[in-house]
């Protein structure tokens, strides 16, 4: 019985996903079709990619508010390099990933060395890089990419859209880092107890550099997909994106107080976001109502986490 | 019922925690206007006893009688209503509020909806006058020195009509001048009929202030004496006076000649000019009062806090570890004093805890070698005799003794040669203590070296080959096993350095 309760708690997210799935299947006849399902997966691909880095950050009890801004900023400079300077697409992508990782690293450096709360550090970089994106683009979108680049966002490999493939690969890599390498062990250790981690020989600062760098890197990968899909560098491209990502991660049961969470559940969290959005569109629910629902979901997810924590303390 | 002039009587108080008897049939009575000192070693039960008066601890049995009214247990509110106030070492003040606002915290004087700051300041002045305190009621508490903050705490209690004031080591954070002003206030309080329970380690204060003194030891009531009829020696021997029984396992002599650790005038982190050497297979005890600088010394050797001067020589080479990682790689380990917050990763498994320092060493291209991970965990679960159904058990579900064994296992897995134990058996029940001692013996017999920090006199004397005593960040004494003596250690531990010496 106790095991069953534990199982339900642990796997609740999959049950929710299933229930939503069945609900939309019953209420909309267009929901359950291969093209629609692929469409959902493609829509959440950027969210999924970025959620991996965010999962790491939240696992150690931090938060990264710069995700959207990193996407915007690097979108703009890459678009600028490719379109205005005619740079080779692969070189631009490489620069893209380096810069996004670099911004993440700076976040991590500030958090680790000056004991600044990640909430504030990443919020500051959010503002800074959004501003820089406006300065470089002068507020105007940049478009006209090579066709090969657009393939990343719009192309197919066989029947499967390329963004879905990228997301799958990122999830696999993310899961590998978390479950197979010692960094994964360190992430959990740090989230559980930073002092004890340090005294057990973990170089806490370096782990933080790594985590925020990875968060930047994965935000960068998500941004490339976005840039290729929209086919234009917009100075508003990633605005507010981090909140979708945080919602998905928290929905996936990663505790905001750090130390516990599983990537598989985050995948489910991401899918719930996608299914919900898609289903609501199919049911002709207005985008304003969708916002309300999203907010309520975030509250529910965090509330569930907090109530569970409280229960643990009492026990 | 006796009709004495006792304002507070604690009778036959008993309090147990799982595995520990914190208070065993302890009684204490306080007369009106009396200063009653409460003494005992760390862990003797002083804090637990006074917490029963404040309602922070509910006794299993016994009676608390305040002005003749009987209580089975107190609550913070009941305590306040009956005139009991406690001044803890950590003050309950809000730094950003004024002195007057702090004194009226939670009971602000109001005119309608508005807080009447003037009235509060007036009332505060009245109390200050009574106690002969000179502080501006409008000053922010954060701008006051610790000494003045303490005065505010006392004034707050008196303003709330406290008749019984309990002070838990009130002089610990104060300078000499501040202690003197505090004494004056205490004298004034006594003259106005307030009773005081005064807890202190410092003998001179007890003899300066108290009328009577009660000694506790290991949670048991030992004796109450008239202060004027006793002396320091008698008190100290009552505090520590117990004969060592077979609480410590036998150990083969195993101290080798080779020096493992040598400190040469090591300075920093509050310690100054500490020099000693530690030989292979030796257990060197570090005695002293809490705050004497022993943990701080361990932090320097383990790379947590950098030294500012002097040398650490480990296995013949001078070292300056900048992080625990570096110290671990050199072969140094620390079993920290706060097991739950510093030692064990509670939310992780036994396996992960034991492997934490060696994951990197055993990994191939960052990937954890699961076979080695499991075999290390199995090996040290067996060697440390960790009682758990599986190595995947979370450490938070283990008993204190087993948690400590997991931490030890971690350091053996990391192949540490020098292991610093900081209060290794704090909060561990007696049976498990014996187990830890046995493991320590096995370690030195295998050629490991141990630096043992302990505030438990018995443990220190039972386990060490040699004892060094620290007081206020300085080495004040050294004893060889043959000359171990509790009184001597206590007297070394309470050596006070003259602040005036330039």
pLDDT reported for residue A1: 57
Taking any CB pair shorter than 8 Å as contact, residues of chain A touching chain B are 180-186, 188-189, 192-193, 195-203, 259-260
> CA-based Rg of chain B, rounded to a whole angstrom?
26
Q: Looking at residue A83, what DSSP letter applies? A: I
A226–chain B nearest CA distance, Å: 31
Would you call B328 and A197 a contact, using CB atoms and an 8 Å cutoff? Answer: no
B294–chain A nearest CA distance, Å: 17
- Residue B3 confidence (pLDDT) above 50: no
Would you call A188 and B359 a contact, using CB atoms and an 8 Å cutoff? Answer: no
Domains of chain B: 6-240 (3.40.50.300), 254-331+416-495 (3.40.50.300), 344-415 (no CATH)
Mutation for B interface: A196, A198, A202, most B CBs within 10 A:
A196
Return the structure tokens found at A165: 């493939």
CA–CA separation, B257 vs B3, rounded Å? 67
H or E element at residue B373: helix B370-383
CA–CA separation, B204 vs B193, rounded Å? 23
Nearest to B345 among A181, A197, A203 (CB): A197
- Residue B32 confidence (pLDDT) above 90: yes
Please name the residues in contact with B66: beta carbons below 8 A apart, sequence gap of 6 or more.
Answer: B7, B8, B9, B82, B83, B84, B164
Would you call A182 and B363 a contact, using CB atoms and an 8 Å cutoff? Answer: yes
Residues in chain A with CB shorter than 8 Å from the CB of B343 are 196, 199
The mean pLDDT value of chain B amounts to 89
- DSSP alpha helices (H): ranges in chain A? 2-27, 34-59, 67-79, 89-114, 118-137, 147-154, 162-180, 182-192, 194-199, 204-230, 241-251, 263-282, 287-314
- Residue A177 confidence (pLDDT) above 90: yes
CA–CA separation, A134 vs B100, rounded Å? 52
Would you call B345 and A203 a contact, using CB atoms and an 8 Å cutoff? Answer: no
Residues in chain B with CB shorter than 8 Å from the CB of A181 are 363, 366-368
Would you call B368 and A200 a contact, using CB atoms and an 8 Å cutoff? Answer: no
B20–chain A nearest CA distance, Å: 21
pLDDT reported for residue B243: 45
Query: In chain B, whose CA is at the least distance from the CA of A201?
Result: B325
Q: Looking at residue A181, what DSSP letter applies? A: B
Would you call A185 and B304 a contact, using CB atoms and an 8 Å cutoff? Answer: no
Residues B225 and B194 sit within 8 Å (Cβ to Cβ): no
Residues in chain A with CB shorter than 8 Å from the CB of B360 are 182
Would you call A192 and B353 a contact, using CB atoms and an 8 Å cutoff? Answer: no
Q: How confident is the model at residue B500 (pLDDT cuts 50, 70, 90)?
A: very low
Q: Does pTM top 0.80 for this prediction?
A: no
Domain coordinates of chain A in residue numbers?
A: 39-242
Query: In chain B, whose CA is at the least distance from the CA of A261?
Result: B347
Nearest to B357 among A181, A188, A200 (CB): A200
* DSSP string across B233-287: HHHHHHHH-----TTS--------SSEEEEEEEEEETTEEEEEEEEETT-EEEEE
Mutation for A interface: B325, B357, B394, B404, most A CBs within 10 A:
B325
Return the structure tokens found at B295: 């943990």
Could you tell me which of A46, A10, A56 has the C-alpha nearest to residue A174?
A56
Of A58-72, A215-229, B242-256, the range with the lowest mean pLDDT is B242-256
Which residues, listed in sequence order, are joined to residue B98 by a DSSP beta bridge? Answer: B140
Could you tell me which of A215, A2, A190 has the C-alpha nearest to residue A107?
A215
pLDDT reported for residue B497: 63
Would you call A199 and B346 a contact, using CB atoms and an 8 Å cutoff? Answer: no
- Residue B386 confidence (pLDDT) above 80: yes
Would you call A188 and B347 a contact, using CB atoms and an 8 Å cutoff? Answer: yes
pLDDT reported for residue B498: 55
Burial A194-231 (b: 16+ CB within 10 A, else e): bebbbbbbbbbeebbbbbbbbbbbbbbbbbbbbbbbbb
B25, with CB counted inside 10 A (0-12, 13-18, 19+), is middle
Nearest to A181 among B302, B343, B368 (CB): B368
Q: How confident is the model at residue A96 (pLDDT cuts 50, 70, 90)?
A: very high
Q: How confident is the model at residue B246 (pLDDT cuts 50, 70, 90)?
A: low
Would you call A189 and B356 a contact, using CB atoms and an 8 Å cutoff? Answer: yes
Q: How confident is the model at residue B113 (pLDDT cuts 50, 70, 90)?
A: confident
Residues in chain B with CB shorter than 8 Å from the CB of A195 are 341-342
Of A132-141, B18-27, B94-103, B189-198, the range with the lowest mean pLDDT is B18-27
A203–chain B nearest CA distance, Å: 7
Residues in chain A with CB shorter than 8 Å from the CB of B347 are 188, 192-193, 259-260
Would you call A181 and B414 a contact, using CB atoms and an 8 Å cutoff? Answer: no
What mean pLDDT do residues A86-98 have? 92
Would you call B343 and A196 a contact, using CB atoms and an 8 Å cutoff? Answer: yes
What mean pLDDT do residues B447-470 have? 92
B72-81 contacts at long range (C-beta below 8 A, 24 or more positions apart): B79/B53, B79/B54, B79/B55, B80/B160
Q: For the segment B295-324, what is each residue's pLDDT rounded down to a tens digit?
A: 999 999 999 999 999 999 999 999 999 999
Q: How confident is the model at residue B92 (pLDDT cuts 50, 70, 90)?
A: confident
A182–chain B nearest CA distance, Å: 5
- Percent of chain B past pLDDT 70, that is, above it, reads 95
Query: In chain A, whose CA is at the least distance from the CA of B347?
Result: A192
A to B CB pairs, distance under 8 Å? 74
B312–chain A nearest CA distance, Å: 19
Nearest to A199 among B334, B359, B363 (CB): B334
Residues B77 and B88 sit within 8 Å (Cβ to Cβ): no
Which residues, listed in sequence order, are joined to residue B14 by a DSSP beta bridge? Answer: B61
A181–chain B nearest CA distance, Å: 4
Would you call B368 and A185 a contact, using CB atoms and an 8 Å cutoff? Answer: yes
What mean pLDDT do residues B49-62 have? 90
- Residue A27 confidence (pLDDT) above 60: yes
Q: For the segment A218-249, what is each residue's pLDDT rounded down to a tens digit?
A: 999 999 999 999 888 888 888 889 999 999 99
């Amino acid at each position: 019985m106790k095991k069953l309760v534990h199982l339900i708690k642990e796997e609740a997210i999959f049950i929710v996903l299933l229930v939503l799935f069945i609900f939309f299947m019953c209420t909309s006849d267009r929901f359950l079709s291969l093209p629609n399902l692929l469409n959902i997966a493609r829509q959440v691909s950027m969210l999924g990619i970025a959620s991996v880095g965010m999962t790491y950050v939240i696992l150690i009890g931090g938060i990264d508010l710069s995700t959207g801004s990193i996407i915007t900023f690097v979108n703009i400079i890459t678009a600028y390099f490719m379109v205005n300077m005619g740079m080779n697409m692969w070189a631009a992508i490489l620069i893209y990933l380096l810069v996004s990782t670099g911004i993440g690293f700076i976040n991590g450096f500030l958090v680790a060395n000056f004991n600044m709360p990640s909430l504030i550090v990443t919020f500051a970089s959010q503002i800074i890089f959004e501003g820089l994106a406006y300065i470089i683009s002068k507020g105007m979108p940049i478009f006209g990419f090579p066709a090969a680049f657009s393939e990343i966002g719009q192309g197919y490999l066989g029947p499967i859209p390329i963004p879905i493939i990228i997301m799958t690969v990122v999830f696999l890599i993310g899961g590998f880092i978390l479950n197979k390498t010692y960094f994964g062990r360190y992430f959990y250790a740090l989230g559980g107890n930073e002092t004890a981690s340090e005294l057990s020989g973990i170089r806490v600062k370096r782990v933080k550099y790594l985590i925020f760098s990875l968060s930047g890197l994965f935000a960068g990968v998500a941004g490339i997909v976005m840039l290729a899909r929209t086919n234009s560098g917009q100075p508003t491209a990633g605005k507010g994106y981090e909140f979708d990502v945080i919602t998905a991660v928290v929905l996936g049961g990663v505790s905001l107080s750090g130390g516990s969470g599983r990537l598989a559940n985050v995948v489910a969290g991401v899918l719930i976001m996608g299914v919900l959005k898609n289903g609501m569109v199919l049911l002709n629910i207005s985008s304003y109502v969708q916002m309300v629902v999203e907010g309520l979901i975030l509250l529910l997810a965090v509330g569930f986490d907090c109530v569970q924590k409280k229960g643990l303390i009492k026990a | 019922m006796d009709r004495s002039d006792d304002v507070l009587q604690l009778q036959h108080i008993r309090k147990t925690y799982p595995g520990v008897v914190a208070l065993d049939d302890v009684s204490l009575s306080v007369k009106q206007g009396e200063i009653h000192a409460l003494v005992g070693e760390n862990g003797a039960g002083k804090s637990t006893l006074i917490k029963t008066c404040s309602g922070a601890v509910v006794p299993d049995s016994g009676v608390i009688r305040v002005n003749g009214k009987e209580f089975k247990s107190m609550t913070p509110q009941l305590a306040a209503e009956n005139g009991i106030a406690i001044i803890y070492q950590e003050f309950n003040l809000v730094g950003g509020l004024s002195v007057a606002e702090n004194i009226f915290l939670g009971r602000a004087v109001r005119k309608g909806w508005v807080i009447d700051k003037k009235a509060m300041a007036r009332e505060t002045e009245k109390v200050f006058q009574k106690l002969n305190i000179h502080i501006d009621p409008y000053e922010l508490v954060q701008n006051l020195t610790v000494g003045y903050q303490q005065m505010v705490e006392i004034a707050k209690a008196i303003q709330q009509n406290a008749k019984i004031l309990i002070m838990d080591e009130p002089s610990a954070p104060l300078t000499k001048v501040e202690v003197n002003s505090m004494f004056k206030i205490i004298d004034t309080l006594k003259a106005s009929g307030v009773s005081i329970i005064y807890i202190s380690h410092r003998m001179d204060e007890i003899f300066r202030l108290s009328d009577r003194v009660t000694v506790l030891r290991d949670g048991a009531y030992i004796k109450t004496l008239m202060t004027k009829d006793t002396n320091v020696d008698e008190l100290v021997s009552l505090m520590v006076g117990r004969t060592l029984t077979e609480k410590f396992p036998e150990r083969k002599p195993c101290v080798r000649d080779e020096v493992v650790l040598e400190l040469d005038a090591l300075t920093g982190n509050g310690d100054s000019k500490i020099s000693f050497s530690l030989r292979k297979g030796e257990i060197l005890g570090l005695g002293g009062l809490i705050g004497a600088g022993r943990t701080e010394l361990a932090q320097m050797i383990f790379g947590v806090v950098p030294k500012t001067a002097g040398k650490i020589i480990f296995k013949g080479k001078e070292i300056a570890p900048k992080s625990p990682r570096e110290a671990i790689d050199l072969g140094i380990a620390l079993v920290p004093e706060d097991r739950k917050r510093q030692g064990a990763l509670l939310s992780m498994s036994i396996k992960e805890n034991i492997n934490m320092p060696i994951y990197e060493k055993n990994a191939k291209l960052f990937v954890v070698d699961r076979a080695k991970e499991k075999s290390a965990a199995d090996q040290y679960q067996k060697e440390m005799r960790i009682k758990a159904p599986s190595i995947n058990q979370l450490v938070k579900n283990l008993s204190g003794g087993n948690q400590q064994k997991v931490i030890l296992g971690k350091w053996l897995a990391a192949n540490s040669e020098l292991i610093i134990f900081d209060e290794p058996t704090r909060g561990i029940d007696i049976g498990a203590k014996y187990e830890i001692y046995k493991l320590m013996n096995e370690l030195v017999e295998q050629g490991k070296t141990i630096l043992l920090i302990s505030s438990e006199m018995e443990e220190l004397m039972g386990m060490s080959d040699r004892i060094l005593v620290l007081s206020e960040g300085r080495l004040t004494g050294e004893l060889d096993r043959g000359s171990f003596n509790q009184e001597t250690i206590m007297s070394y531990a309470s050596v006070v350095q003259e602040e005036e010496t330039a």
